[in-house]
Amino acid sequence: MLCLLCQQDYHCDFSLPHFLARQPDRADLLCPDCLAAFSLLTGPVCAGCGRSFAKGPFCADCCYWQRKGAPNLQHRALYHYNEQMKVYMAAYKFQGDYRLALVFRKELTAFVRRLKRHYQANLVLPIPVSPTRYQQRGFHQVAGLLAPGLRQQGLVVAQEPLQPQSALTRAARLASAQPFAIAENWQPHLKGQRILLVDDVYTTGRTLQHAAACVLAAGAQAVFSCSLAR
């Protein structure tokens, strides 16, 4: 089989009838070398943003957010945003290979469901994609990483960013204006709810803080967040 990330031809250990009878999984898409290069985020983490951190409850970035009065989203991520995850995100998001969503869908779905129980959240909202980006790509990059039952589109991108977030400097991202709005007819569904936001990658926390501010302004009681990587 050809690995979708490194294009290496690799041996996959099953018979064709077996392969046809089951749901494809990550071993059908990526070679063992590529799979082994992802790094799970384990060990002590910051209580605010979920980065590896053992020197206290909150890292310096989270102390900055707290001084600005931002809510503590108790963010948790599954993987480190290492070189391999960058390669994966580039192929998935920027080259738009939707098959790659399957590499993490099962695992991220289980992670989100676990956190949903842990935070006693009643609603999961993936970070939305802008209409322009949706047209270019043909899929919702974050929702695609989740099982269909977790793809509620309660948030929309109201303001089209001039440049993709990935093209901005850290300072520009931190200063960017609120890009999100509540989707039509969704306002009543958010009132008094505990919401778990899901993103693909946590970089500065700005995107999730914007989304959190948006749902809190709509009457949500509490908001938490998680991502595939950070």
Contact map string, positions 139 to 168, toward Zn ion, x by CB under 5 A: ------------------------------
Which residues ranging from 3 to 22 are in contact with Zn ion (CB under 5 A)? 3, 5-6
Q: What SS3 state is found at 181?
A: strand
Residue 32, token pair as written in the block: 């063992």
46 belongs to the binding site for Zn ion (CB under 5 A) = yes
Give 6 or 27: the residue with its C-beta nearer to Zn ion: 6
Q: What SS3 state is found at 111?
A: helix
Pairing between β-strand 222-229 and β-strand 194-201 as defined by DSSP bridges: parallel
Give 29 or 218: the residue with its C-beta nearer to Zn ion: 29
Give 208 or 218: the residue with its C-beta nearer to Zn ion: 208
Part of the chain binding Zn ion (CB under 5 A), chosen from 37-45, 62-70, 145-153, 211-219 = 62-70
Residue labelled with tokens 């695992």:
107
Q: What SS3 state is found at 151?
A: coil
| 54: amino acid identity, one letter | A
Task: Give min distance, CB of 145 to Zn ion, in A.
Answer: 19
Give 34 or 229: the residue with its C-beta nearer to Zn ion: 34
Task: Give min distance, CB of 34 to Zn ion, in A.
Answer: 3
Task: Give min distance, CB of 229 to Zn ion, in A.
Answer: 15
Cα–Cα–Cα angle for 79, 146, 17, rounded to 5 degrees: 100
Let me know: does 46 contact 53? Beta carbons within 8 Å: yes
Q: CA 63 → CA 50, 98, 230, distances in Å?
A: 13, 37, 18
C-alpha to C-alpha distance for 199 and 142, rounded to whole angstroms: 6
C-alpha to C-alpha distance for 225 and 209, rounded to whole angstroms: 9
48 belongs to the binding site for Zn ion (CB under 5 A) = yes
59 belongs to the binding site for Zn ion (CB under 5 A) = yes
34 belongs to the binding site for Zn ion (CB under 5 A) = yes
77 belongs to the binding site for Zn ion (CB under 5 A) = no
Give 193 or 225: the residue with its C-beta nearer to Zn ion: 225
Residue labelled with tokens 């690799």:
10
Enumerate binding residues for Zn ion (CB under 5 A): 3, 5-6, 31, 34, 46, 48-49, 59, 62
